[in-house]
């Protein structure tokens, strides 16, 4: 179960089973099975400077929106949820955030993910690369090290 708490407003929402209410603003995800807590606003700040129209042209699959969701991740989301969200819809903040929150929850359940830092590494560099890193087959790239540092600075952790 994922608990989503919106700090700074009077409301909190819970998400479970496929139903999720997306909240904009300072949003923390509490993944109750392992008690990871990630600040989604910090991730959006790093990924897009909180710009829902941001686009990254790095690699074959560009990132889109607040959380820089790739076409590959969107395809995975659509397959799992039996939906047909189009890449243009990723520029809508609530759609982009819904996919990002789902992905972080998905990562949390994967082997080799043992901490919030592992989730950040996988989110930034890819889950497959996290596995290679944990097995000692790859070194953490500077971009991902910097990503973790930025996250820690933004969240005072």
Q: What is the CATH number of the domain that holds 67?
A: 1.10.530.10
Q: How far is CA 21 from CA 56, 98, 99, in A?
A: 27, 8, 12
Q: How far is CA 97 from CA 12, 16, 145, in A?
A: 16, 16, 23
pLDDT at 44 over 80: yes
Q: What is the mean pLDDT of residues 105-133?
A: 96
pTM of the model: 0.78
Are 122 and 95 contacting, i.e. CB atoms less than 8 angstroms apart?
no
pLDDT for the residue 6: 37
Q: What is the mean pLDDT of residues 81-85?
A: 98
30 closest CA partner among 6, 49, 9, 46:
6
Provide the domain limits for residue 126.
2-155
pLDDT at 115 over 50: yes
Quote the number of domains for the chain. Answer: 1
Q: Any idea which residue has 């993910």 for tokens?
A: 113
Dihedral of alpha carbons 114, 119, 121, 122, sign: positive
pLDDT for the residue 59: 58
């Amino acid at each position: 179960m994922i608990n989503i708490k919106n700090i700074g407003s009077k409301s909190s929402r819970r998400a479970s089973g496929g139903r999720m209410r997306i909240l904009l603003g300072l949003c923390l995800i509490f993944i109750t099975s392992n008690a990871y807590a990630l600040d989604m606003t910090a991730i959006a700040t790093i990924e897009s400077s909180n710009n829902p129209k941001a686009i990254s042209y790095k690699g074959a699959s560009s990132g889109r929106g607040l959380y820089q969701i790739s076409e590959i991740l969107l395809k995975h989301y659509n397959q799992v949820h039996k939906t047909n969200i189009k890449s243009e819809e990723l520029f809508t903040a609530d759609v982009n955030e819904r996919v990002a929150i789902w992905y972080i929850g998905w990562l949390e359940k994967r082997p080799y993910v043992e901490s919030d830092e592992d989730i950040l590494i996988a989110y930034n560099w890819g889950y497959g690369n996290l596995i290679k890193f944990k097995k000692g087959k790859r070194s953490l790239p500077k971009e991902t090290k910097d990503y973790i540092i930025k996250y820690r600075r933004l969240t005072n952790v």
